[in-house]
Structure 1
Amino acid sequence: MGEMSAQFLYAKLGDAKIHFERALDCKHTEFDDLYPYMIEHPQFFWYKRYVAWSELLTIVKLCDELKVEWHEQFTDRQVEYIGKRVMSSRVLDEWYETNDAKEHAG
């Protein structure tokens, strides 16, 4: 894989991680702009998190298939969650290992 392609995937992986973390933190994402009328519905935030998680898993899968290292952008626990692929309540509650140990998405 060419250097430019690996850099492209790293950038997309970073974007997907930030998107997921912003969704976890109930912060504004691109998804809010696509469905502004949905913001009033409580289930919107669950769906928004699901979409962001799916995006993250898709980029990770591409990295795996193209043999691009992605683990270094995540904690060991986050790598474990990604490996299990299921967005469980544990992932939502414990993505940040402690509330003050990791800086939340900006």
Structure 2
Amino acid sequence: MGEMSPDFIQLKLADAKTHFERALDCKHTEFDDLYPYMIEHPQFFWYKRYVAWSELLTIVKLCEELSMEWHEQFSEKQVDYIGKRVMSSRVLDEWYETNDSKEHVG
């Protein structure tokens, strides 16, 4: 297998961002299909967001290890949250605050 192309990584980063934002908005994600029995549990949405956040951090870490740019898909505030790595209530409440979410949807 050849090297991963920057375009491929950017696509995966965009997918991870969309996945996290869908989890934030309580929209359907792959997680719902993987764990249908959990929908009945009150902590379900918390787990779903945690999984999506972990995925996003993993892709960002990969970008950094490959010296690839990842900041441009996010607002300054979102870059700061990702840099801190902790999914706090502030991240959940203010993720969209300064971000025009239509900006990178293509």
- Alignment TM-score, normalising by the size of structure 2: 0.89
**How far apart, CA to CA, are the structure 2 residues paired with 1:5 and 1:48?**
29
Percent of pairs with identical residues: 81
Count, aligned residues? 102
**How far apart, CA to CA, are the structure 2 residues paired with 1:5 and 1:20?**
23
Over the aligned positions, Cα root-mean-square deviation in angstroms equals 1.9
AA at the equivalent of 2:44: F
Describe the superposition over 1:22-65 as per-residue Cα deviations: whole angstroms up to 9, x where unpaired. Answer: 00000000000001111111101000000000000000000000
Residues 60-79 of structure 1: pairs in structure 2 closer than 5 A: 60-79=60-79
**How far apart, CA to CA, are the structure 2 residues paired with 1:93 and 1:31?**
21
Instruction: Give the match for residue 95 of structure 1.
Output: 95
Instruction: Give the match for residue 80 of structure 2.
Output: 80
**How far apart, CA to CA, are the structure 1 residues paired with 2:48 and 2:42?**
11
Shift of 1:3: 8.8
**How far apart, CA to CA, are the structure 1 residues paired with 2:44 and 2:96?**
22
**How far apart, CA to CA, are the structure 2 residues paired with 1:66 and 1:9?**
10
Unpaired runs of 5+ in structure 1? none
Unpaired runs of 5+ in structure 2? none
